[in-house]
Copies of this chain bind each other. A is one copy, B any other.
């Protein structure tokens, strides 16, 4: 469910945080639901447990998850209402960045929009694929 890009400059622990936030935002992980254990996830992602632990620790600090000693980590309650807003904010952040970068190329809004439509359709055909490289 989660993928880490080793070529990205974004630290592994940040990538793990982002991926888990997405799972919550899409409803793949619901309030109260258990996250994979640190060791489990670390093994799956071929990361050191320390790295995953750091991601969980920071997600806990922002109250997205809670950890119960001896039991594991769970999506925090009260998350549900926040999700909708977070999702919208995330979408805007993502789109605004693309728009800003496109405009920095000195392109007209019409051109940008046309290109966006084409790429969006294209992405529908191919399913979700793509190489990130922040």
Q: Separation in Å of the A110 CB from the closest CB of chain B?
A: 10
* A103: Cβ under 8 A from any B Cβ: yes
Most chain-B CB neighbours within 10 Å: which of A70, A103, A124? A103
Cβ contact of A120, chosen from B6, B91, B113, B120, cutoff 8 A: B113
- Chain B residue at minimum C-beta to C-beta distance from A10: B9
Question: How many copies of this chain does one complex carry?
Answer: 4
Range class of the A interface residue count: 35 or more
CB of B112 within 8 A of CB of A120, answer: yes
Chain B neighbourhood of A115, CB < 8 A: 91-92, 95
Nearest-CB distance from A64 to chain B (Å)?
Answer: 16
Contact B90 A134 (CB under 8 A): no
Residues of B within 8 Å of A130, CB to CB, are 96-97, 100
